[in-house]
Structures are given as C-alpha cells and as structure tokens.
C-alpha cells in the first residue's frame, strides 16, 4: 500500500464554511467556527490521520479584496500558504450564488496556477444540505464555469455528506511519503493562539456589524499559580482585547461589566477543556485607535 502525506488548505470567501469543514475532516474541534465572517485570523492546522495517508490541513483566513493594511497582510499570508501546499480546496457555499468575491478568488487562483507550481485546486461546494437538489446542480454548473478545477465535490460538513469522498479526493493529490506528524497529534497550533481564538469567539458571540474587524485578542501571559497546601493546580491566563473605539469597548464590557463576565466564563470553559486544568481568566479591554491601519500596532498585535 502506498502512503501519502502532505498539506492541504481551504480558501473561500468569509463564512464559506472552511473551519467547519476542517473540523469535520479532522473529526475533532480544532478550528474555531463562528457565524460572523472573518473570525479566522490565524493559520490553524488540523491533521487527518488515515490508514493510507496523513493530510495536514491549513485553515487560512478568507482571501478578500483588501480595504485596509490588515486586509493586505492577510492576503499576503494566504498567498504564502497557497504556494506551500500540495492541494487547495476552494470552498463555495451552495446557498449563495457565485458572486464577485468568488470570482476575485478564482482569478487569484488562476494567477497562482500560472506563476506558481501548478498546485491542483479542488472546488468544494459547501453547505449542500441547505439547498434542494436542483439548486445544487445549477450551482455545480456555475462553479465548473468559474475556472479550471482538478475536481468538483459537493459536501455538507454539518450532515457529514461526502466528507469522506472529499478526504479521498484531496489525499489523491498528496505526494507519496511517510507521516509528517506523530499519531494522534491533531493540531500543532500553539496553545496561545487557540486560547486567543476562544476568547475572540466568546467576545463576538451575538455581536453584529463592524466589531469583528475591529477586535484583536492578544494573550499576555499564561502562568501557573503558586499552590497553597493541596489546592488544585491552576493557571493564570491574562488576555488583552483591543478595539478601535470607546463605543466598541462599551459593547464588549456591557452594562456594569455583565457582558464581559459572560464572555469570560464562556471562554474559560473552553480554555480549561483545551489546557486540561483550572484557569483564572483575566480579561482587559483596551482601545487602540485605528490599529488595523497602523503598521506599528499591527506588528505589536501579531499581524
């Protein structure tokens, strides 16, 4: 039996279902999903372990028309990732017509195909559970006209429909080679990034409009707390939330700090599950004016 190993990544407009698909393929929650667009800012890898292959999934932020310096940096990050992988999955949600955002990405992929090393692109029609068969067929046709695809696969990450098929197709494009990671390793994303993502996810729950773009979460420190007697082990986790305006700070904090307390307890549960230990979570909300446009601040916030 030949064993294959390599890297795959998903691109697609915001909210296309990339994180959910990553989780469905890996079989465990590694990437953070949200129904707000553009919450995945960091490259989060999940590893698919199979009898015949090991596939490392790199979950990238959405490739989109840059409007700010942050947008440009994100796009540069996505392009770097794209030239390094063995296969690209281009996610197009079945419940939305092929639009300008998709065409922009298709153009970028076509350009990469000519400049780069001809990485195969599999068109993945996500959320196919949301539309009737007829609409799905129309969408598949529209997608096939959009570019040169190695394959087109409709899936539903939620219903589990064709997730295995997609796994087979993607793995088929990986080179032969030994496993790259030890068995059972699901993510090599530093814990700190996952902690920041959990806080970000909690802070954005139920929040609309411009806040998702204006929020940056930075883990300041994770330190073990000095133990008194036989008190259980505990970590102190200090996290800063940066927003761009006082009004946004007020939204995050809520009346009398009520919302921030909720954010804290929700994020703490996730962090405790992730780190396997009790956590004291200390959240600070700060205003960093126009951080998205300021190269110095972007650097400080890790972008």
Ligand X SMILES: Nc1nc2c(ncn2[C@@H]2O[C@H](COP(=O)(O)OP(=O)(O)OP(=O)(O)O)[C@@H](O)[C@H]2O)c(=O)[nH]1
Positions touching ligand X (CB under 6 A) are: 12, 14-20, 33-35, 37-40, 61-62, 126-127, 129-130, 156-158
Query: In this complex, which beta carbon is closest to ligand X, that of residue 137 or of residue 250?
Result: 137
Query: In this complex, which beta carbon is closest to ligand X, that of residue 35 or of residue 183?
Result: 35
Burial of 206 (0-12, 13-18, 19+ CB in 10 A): exposed
Cβ of residue 197: shortest distance to ligand X, in angstroms? Answer: 10
Rounded to whole angstroms, the Cα distance separating 132 from 95 reads 10
Rounded to whole angstroms, the Cα distance separating 286 from 264 reads 15
E strand or H helix at 101: helix 100-115
- Residue list, annotated binding site for GTP: 12-19, 59-63, 126-129
Query: In this complex, which beta carbon is closest to ligand X, that of residue 96 or of residue 297?
Result: 96
Edge-to-edge order in the sheet of strand 234-243? 216-224, 234-243, 278-287
Query: In this complex, which beta carbon is closest to ligand X, that of residue 195 or of residue 279?
Result: 195
Cβ of residue 233: shortest distance to ligand X, in angstroms? Answer: 33
- Residue list, annotated binding site: 12-19, 59-63, 126-129
Cβ of residue 234: shortest distance to ligand X, in angstroms? Answer: 31
- Smallest CA-to-CA distance from 33 within 119, 91, 80, 87 is with 91
Cβ of residue 289: shortest distance to ligand X, in angstroms? Answer: 25
Query: In this complex, which beta carbon is closest to ligand X, that of residue 22 or of residue 54?
Result: 22
Rounded to whole angstroms, the Cα distance separating 47 from 55 reads 6
Cβ of residue 96: shortest distance to ligand X, in angstroms? Answer: 11
CA torsion, points 251, 252, 255, 259, in degrees to nearest 10?
Answer: 130
């Amino acid at each position: 039996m030949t064993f294959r190993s390599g890297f795959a990544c998903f691109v697609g407009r915001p909210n296309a279902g990339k994180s959910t698909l990553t989780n469905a393929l890996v079989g465990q929650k590694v990437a953070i999903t949200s129904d707000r667009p553009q919450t995945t800012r960091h490259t989060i890898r999940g590893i698919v372990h199979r009898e015949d292959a090991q596939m490392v999934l790199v979950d990238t932020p959405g490739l989109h028309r840059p409007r700010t310096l942050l947008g440009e940096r994100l796009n540069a990050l996505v392009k770097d990732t794209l030239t390094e992988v063995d296969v690209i999955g281009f996610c197009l949600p079945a419940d939305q017509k092929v639009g300008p955002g998709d065409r922009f990405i298709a153009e970028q992929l076509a350009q990469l195909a000519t400049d780069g090393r001809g990485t195969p692109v599999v068109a993945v029609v996500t959320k196919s559970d949301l539309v009737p068969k007829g609409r799905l067929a129309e969408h598949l046709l529209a997608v096939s006209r959009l570019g040169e695809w190695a394959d087109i696969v409709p899936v539903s990450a939620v219903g589990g429909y064709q997730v295995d098929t997609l796994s087979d197709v993607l793995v088929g494009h990986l080179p032969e080679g030994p496993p790259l990671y030890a068995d059972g390793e699901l993510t090599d994303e530093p814990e700190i990034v996952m902690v920041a993502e959990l806080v970000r996810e909690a802070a954005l729950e139920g929040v609309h409009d411009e806040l998702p773009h204006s929020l940056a979460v930075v883990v300041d420190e994770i330190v073990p707390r000095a133990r008194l007697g036989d008190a259980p082990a505990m970590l102190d986790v200090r996290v800063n939330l940066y927003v761009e305006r006082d009004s946004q700070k007020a939204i995050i904090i809520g009346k009398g700090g009520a919302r921030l307390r909720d954010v804290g307890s929700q994020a703490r549960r996730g962090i405790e599950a992730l780190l396997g230990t009790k956590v004291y979570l200390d959240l600070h909300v700060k205003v960093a004016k126009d951080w998205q446009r300021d190269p110095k601040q972007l650097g400080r916030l890790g972008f």
